[in-house]
Structure 1
Amino acid sequence: MSTIDSLPPLREVIATHQLSARKSLGQNFLLDLNLTAKIARQAGDLADCDVLEIGPGPGGLTRGLLAEGARRVLAVEKDSRCIAALQQIQAAYPGRLQVIEGDALAIDPLAHLKPPIRIAANLPYNIGTELLVRWLTPPDWPPFWKSLTLMFQREVAERIVAQPGSKVYGRLAILAQWRCDARIVMSLPPEAFTPPPKISSAVVHLNALARPRYPANADSLSRVVAMAFNQRRKMLRSALKGIAPDIEDRLRAAGLKPTERAEQVSLEGFCALARILDS
């Protein structure tokens, strides 16, 4: 498949609008429309969904999402140079693409979207993790979105799906897996991008669960997980001693060994400990 619509190839779009990627904006453009269409397909059935895309750049994934049948796409782009290119796509898909120029960290997308909503994005590297944490920690659950299909640096993707015992298992894995089914669905080498980043990338798909996997208070779970992993080389009884004077008894009541380290504790174990501490 050499093209997915009647619009020009992305290299031509970039040349026309002089869209050299800017490191300050975390930009690395994915120009192969075969790949952007494949990422769009990983987001699931888009026919009856609005899709939020952050950092569309010249619009490769935007075109993939629209070609795959998204009811409507809201594209939030901080780089004013990209707006004209996105407006070309807007004209090719009348009534189905809205472009907002601005900072994704400061914009409320719900003012422009109707459920069901999916989020799909080749996230700018410099704000990707912050956006993910925001989407995983809303005041109420389930969230406004049905699924997240997001590209990250490979090391971040591996942290999201990591299991206990892994060196990269930590807070991000707990946040993601407590409320979602998370899996890596694609891997991309540096040469797939312009300019090529120094490391590989991966696409993670997260489906929101109707309720958290195990019962726990979100604030309590976040606190205990943060304390445990902030001193991940220490035993739990040392890392968590500031939480309660009888922390060893509480660890045992949660079914955990005081001599274990954070990376050895399962999601279920952390949730049990959060409940014990609340009681």
Structure 2
Amino acid sequence: MSQSNNIPLGIALMVATTFVFAVQDGLSQHLAGEYNVLMVVMIRYWFFAAFVIAIARRNPGGMRAAAHTRQPLLQTLRGVLLAAEICVMVAAFTILGLVESHAVFTCYPLLVAALSGPVLGERVGWRRWAAIGVGFIGVLIILQPGMSVFDPAAVIPLLSATMFAVYGLLTRYVARRDSTATSFFWTGVTGAIAMTFAGVWFWEPMAATDWMFMGCLCVTGVTGHWLLIRCYEVAEASAVQPFAYLQLVFAALIGISFFGETIRSNVAIGVGLIVAAGLFTFWRERQKAAAH
């Protein structure tokens, strides 16, 4: 499909995407607080895999074309890594809440930039390294590792961010030989298989009300991915990507409104530094791409 560049529509779709994903995170926090994380993520992945398969069947060549890859091991690693990352992040929601988990997780674009050199062989200039350094100062301000009140659990979303950054780099790497449709198919199917093997052992009865929440979780997951696909179809990624930071804002609003969370001053300051550094890093990548 040829891509248009309707930037206002693309921005609107990205804002909608971040809101839907924030709602998904709130539902995940509620359900994982009542049931095993692996079971919750497993059911979510079953629905996601069905969505991925439905999309593949509608594309030219059907499922055979979508499943065809020259890099099955890397694609499998990507899918399993993302499923594991989601489990870690949902666990962070139940331990730390949405606000602090997302505050730390926001640093993942900086991790992508820092690791793109050794992993993908991309050149990272001194300006981006400086921005990465500023971003990680923000992370340290949030974590307060030298304070007596430091909670080791705060490292959990940092682990999640690192896993997601590696997943993003692997996605860039496999994109050199596989299509987006193929990567999307392998993400959903391998993740569902991995989560089934892990989660089926932790099955437990779910209350009728929570099945309603689970249905909403599955629908928000599919809706969010559909909106994101449409967003990148109608507008260039460079124009809409900065608005992805709004997920932190929406998640914080949900955490405060429904879970009684608060925003500590050090978290607000740290997030400000991370977002500023992330936007600068993204701008430098855009400038570099335009120069070529």
Whether TM exceeds 0.5 here: the answer is: no
- Look at both structures and tell me which one has the larger radius of gyration over its CA atoms: 1
Q: Which has the higher contact order (CA 8 A, sep 6+)?
A: 2
TM-score for the superposition, normalised by structure 2: 0.25
TM-score for the superposition, normalised by structure 1: 0.26
Which of the pair is proportionally richer in helix?
2
Which of the pair is proportionally richer in strand?
1
